[in-house]
Chain A
Amino acid sequence: GQNIDQPTEMTATEGAIVQINCTYQTSGFNGLFWYQQHAGEAPTFLSYNVLDGLEEKGRFSSFLSRSKGYSYLLLKELQMKDSASYLCAVMDSNYQLIWGAGTKLIIKP
């Protein structure tokens, strides 16, 4: 079966760095997405990785290792507004998104 695993909840301090991990097992792979979702709102796109390596975009970076079925989202210089759920999703061979359950990130002052 297809499976996406990510931690349920993480806590970090304002100004610090946090890494949210995601492991996956899917039928085929056409890329991995990270989305941010604030409570009561729709997800917003953060990053897309299809090749191995690190993609940096401002304070956010995303890493992919296809051989390990592993990705992480790295958030630097955390701000209170980064408190949200972070969703990992993998696009399978049918170009269908398989979603993780999301990681709720709590930022403390």
Chain B
Amino acid sequence: GAVVSQHPSWVICKSGTSVKIECRSLDFQATTMFWYRQFPKQSLMLMATSNEGSKATYEQGVEKDKFLINHASLTLSTLTVTSAHPEDSSFYICSAKFADVEQFFGPGTRLTVL
């Protein structure tokens, strides 16, 4: 299957700082990428849908000014958590859509905010 990478795999930061997470589709062009958040023992929660060259579409309850998404190319999308707080600590996962059907997931980024 197609490969999606995420960087970093894990990050620890102080409260109030910003963290950028990269999501790359390595062997295919992804017109659409998705950002999910998953708290312990809970299912995936879609945060936003990112289309290359346009603004991301955020799900209800997700603050667009806090979670900045940039999808500058067909192989790269970034999520920046601005002014992170301990409640933002979570597992962030991106996925890239291939051929209108299947989504391939990145390995995830575990964010811990102290």
Binding site for B on A (CB under 8 A): 30-31, 33, 35, 40-45, 48, 87, 91, 95-97, 99-102
| Separation of A30 and B97 alpha carbons in the complex (Å) | 14
Which single member of B46, B49, B91, B101 contacts A91 (CB below 8 Å)? Answer: B101
B109 to chain A, nearest CB (A): 10
**Interface positions of B from 80 to 105, Cβ below 8 Å from A:** 91, 93, 97, 100-105
Q: Write 26 A-B pairs (CB below 8 A) sorted by A numbering.
A: A31-B101, A33-B102, A40-B91, A41-B107, A41-B108, A42-B93, A42-B106, A42-B107, A42-B108, A43-B93, A43-B105, A45-B104, A45-B105, A48-B101, A48-B102, A91-B101, A95-B97, A95-B100, A95-B101, A96-B46, A97-B34, A97-B46, A97-B103, A101-B42, A101-B43, A102-B43
- CB <8 Å contact, A45 and B102: yes
Contact residues in A for B102 (Cβ distance below 8 Å): 33, 45, 48
Which single member of B1, B44, B46, B97 contacts A43 (CB below 8 Å)? Answer: B44
A interface majority secondary structure:
loop
Contact residues in A for B49 (Cβ distance below 8 Å): 96
| Separation of A102 and B42 alpha carbons in the complex (Å) | 8
Q: Other than the known A43-B44, A45-B104, what 4 A-B pairs have Cβ atoms closer than 8 Å? A: A41-B107, A42-B93, A101-B42, A102-B43
Per the CB 8 Å criterion, the residue count for chain B at the interface is 20
B37 to chain A, nearest CB (A): 12
B44 to chain A, nearest CB (A): 5
- CB <8 Å contact, A99 and B44: yes
Chain B residue at minimum C-beta to C-beta distance from A104: B41
Chain B residue at minimum C-beta to C-beta distance from A43: B105
- CB <8 Å contact, A42 and B105: yes
> A42-B93, A42-B107, A42-B108 given as contacts; is B101 within 8 A of A30 (CB)?
yes
| Separation of A31 and B101 alpha carbons in the complex (Å) | 8
A38 to chain B, nearest CB (A): 11
Contact residues in A for B103 (Cβ distance below 8 Å): 33, 97
| Separation of A35 and B103 alpha carbons in the complex (Å) | 10
Contact residues in A for B1 (Cβ distance below 8 Å): 45
